């Protein structure tokens, strides 16, 4: 991702192309503005996920599964989709979500919604 932003910026500066420099700065601002900073919080009413300029609020009742992924992240399946997050303490975070989402039951290393 960084190369995709840095390469055009480098070319713009070395070739003296001001329009390309501006486009590179705008692309970098857009990419980093929607992805940094990231934080996650389990509040009493919902899971809050902040990523750059966006905030996602996921009600615990919508969560269908919480499982570790292969790359030190947590996969959360909920209502309309799924997402990957990387909290500092994965197990503590998963247990906190499970404590707030009564529809989840432990199956190995995962928390999965039980069929009612």
Burial per residue of 67-102, b for 16 or more beta-carbon CB atoms within 10 angstroms, e otherwise: beeeeeebebebeeeeeebebeebeebbebbbebbe
User: How many CB atoms within 10 Å of residue 17?
Assistant: 14
pTM score, whole prediction:
0.68
pLDDT at 8: 66
pLDDT at 2: 58
pLDDT at 72: 85
pLDDT at 48: 94
Q: pLDDT per position in the chain (116 positions), as tens?
A: 556 666 666 777 777 777 777 777 777 777 666 666 788 899 999 999 988 778 889 999 999 999 999 888 999 999 888 999 988 888 899 999 999 999 999 999 999 998 75
Q: How far apart are CA 12 and CA 85, in angstroms?
A: 35
């Amino acid at each position: 991702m960084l190369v995709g932003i840095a390469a055009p910026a480098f070319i713009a500066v070395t070739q003296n192309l001001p329009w390309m420099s501006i486009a590179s700065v705008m692309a970098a601002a857009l990419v980093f503005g929607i992805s940094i900073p990231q934080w996650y919080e389990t509040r009493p009413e919902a899971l809050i996920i902040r990523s750059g300029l966006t905030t996602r609020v996921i009600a615990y009742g919508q969560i269908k599964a919480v499982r570790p992924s292969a790359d030190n992240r947590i996969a959360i399946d909920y209502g309309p989709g799924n997402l990957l997050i990387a909290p500092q303490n994965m197990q503590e975070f998963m247990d906190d979500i499970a404590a707030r989402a009564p529809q989840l039951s432990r199956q190995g290393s995962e928390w999965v919604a039980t069929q009612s």
